[in-house]
Amino acid sequence: MTPVAEGAALVGFLAASVRVATPLLLAAIGETVTERAGVINLGLEGAMLAGALGSALGARGGPWAGVAAGVVAGAVVAAVFAAWVVGARVNQIIAGTAVTLACVGLTGTIYRQAYGAGGARLSLPTLGPLAVPGLSRIPVMGPALFAQPALTYIALALVPAVWWVLYRTRVGLALRATGEASDLAHAAGVPVRALRFWATVFGGALAGIGGASLVLAQVGTFAEKMTAGRGYVAIAIVVLGRWHPVGVALAALLFGAATALQFLFQALGLAVPYQFFLMLPYVLTLLALAGAVGRAKAPAGLAKDE
């Protein structure tokens, strides 16, 4: 390859990494808050799917109306889940599985009802890339990082914001205490159940934006089961990022990069079946978990309060 082509391939690889990472980061940063409060939400996949369909339906009023609808859809799904696990204190893994199952059915049915049995290909108004003046001119990094759709910037901005709330505010302290030792937090006057409920709803809302970013900033249409397990991957990313916003952001970018490698290798013309590149991010995540988790500590009360 010529140096120019190499540079273009590198920019393409970095930009694709960030693009793949965006919906995962949105969902994972929300789930970080949820898990820090002691709740693991396997309904995240359902919330993301609902957010994706909600954004497709809402986008009739423009792309930002779509994003808003995605947030509401994700939050509603998470609120149902939270009502069960926080209100009735049922097993979180089971309730999450059930919520995702119901969402697969509900989104599939509503989609066919709204757009016909064949599911005519929608063309929705999309959120185009938004170049940050100045920064986008930096060689290589500029076009990769600073010429992305607005939702990517929102995802990146959420990382320090969530860090600040978790580690520098009273609410964050109460939230972390809730996840580590809910009895002690309760005795200290922390509204444990309210915090858990809203932390879960927050996670669902962000998963909803994640679903919306998939529809409005990437694919431009909705398809059944289009999240294809991204909600579950987001949960793995939270573990890989050791329940810390910065770690989670790095883990999401790592997963994005591992996924984007296939575009790079295809450009290089390697004779490896593409399916192995599809496996790569999952295998890498698994290996990274083995290396990372040994030293990491999950919130002590995670999924414990039945």
Q: Which amino acid is at 96?
A: G
Q: What is the DSSP string of 54-109?
A: HHHHHGGG-HHHHHHHHHHHHHHHHHHHHIIIIIS---HHHHHHHHHHHHHHHHHH
Residues 6+ apart with CB under 8 A from 81: 41, 43, 47, 95, 96, 99, 200, 204
Please give the Cα distance from 102 to 104 (Å, whole number). Answer: 5
Query: Taking CB under 8 A as the criterion, which residues in 23-62 touch other proteins?
Result: 40, 42
Query: Taking CB under 8 A as the criterion, which residues in 229-248 touch other proteins?
Result: 229, 232-233, 235-236, 239
CA atoms within 13 A on the CB side of 102: 14
Out of 266, 278, 300, 304, which residue is the one contacting other proteins (CB under 8 A)? 278
Tell me the window of 2-10, 26-34, 205-213, 283-291 that interacts with other proteins (CB under 8 A): 283-291
Minimum distance, C-beta of residue 90 to other proteins, in the bound complex (Å): 4
Tell me the window of 9-17, 25-33, 123-131, 276-284 that interacts with other proteins (CB under 8 A): 276-284
Let me know: does 37 contact 178? Beta carbons within 8 Å.
Answer: yes
90 binds other proteins (CB under 8 A): yes
Closest to other proteins by CB, 15 vs 73, is: 73
Residue 119, phi then psi, degrees to nearest 5: 65, 60
Residues 6+ apart with CB under 8 A from 48: 23, 27, 74, 207, 208, 210, 211, 214, 227, 230, 231, 234
Please give the Cα distance from 192 to 177 (Å, whole number). Answer: 9
User: Is residue 43 classed as helix, strand or coil in its secondary structure?
Assistant: coil
115 binds other proteins (CB under 8 A): no
Closest to other proteins by CB, 3 vs 273, is: 273
1 binds other proteins (CB under 8 A): no
**Which helix or strand (DSSP H or E) is residue 147 part of?**
strand 147-149
Number of chain positions touching other proteins (CB under 8 A)? 53
270 binds other proteins (CB under 8 A): no
Tell me the window of 133-141, 161-169, 246-254, 268-276 that interacts with other proteins (CB under 8 A): 268-276
Q: Which residue in 71, 91, 66 sits closest to 81, CA to CA?
A: 91
Tell me the window of 2-10, 15-23, 109-117, 148-156 that interacts with other proteins (CB under 8 A): 109-117
Tell me the window of 149-157, 199-207, 262-270, 291-299 that interacts with other proteins (CB under 8 A): 291-299
Out of 108, 142, 172, 220, which residue is the one contacting other proteins (CB under 8 A)? 108
Please give the Cα distance from 297 to 306 (Å, whole number). Answer: 21
Let me know: does 143 contact 19? Beta carbons within 8 Å.
Answer: no
Out of 1, 5, 7, 89, which residue is the one contacting other proteins (CB under 8 A)? 89
Q: Strands, E, within 165-208: which ranges?
A: none
Query: Taking CB under 8 A as the criterion, which residues in 165-224 touch other proteins?
Result: 182-183, 185-186, 192-193, 224
Out of 104, 122, 130, 132, which residue is the one contacting other proteins (CB under 8 A)? 104
Please give the Cα distance from 104 to 43 (Å, whole number). Answer: 11
129 binds other proteins (CB under 8 A): no
Q: Which residues bind other proteins (CB under 8 A)?
A: 40, 42, 84, 88-91, 93-95, 97-106, 108-109, 112-113, 117, 182-183, 185-186, 192-193, 224, 229, 232-233, 235-236, 239, 273, 275-276, 278-279, 282-283, 285-286, 289-291, 293-294, 298
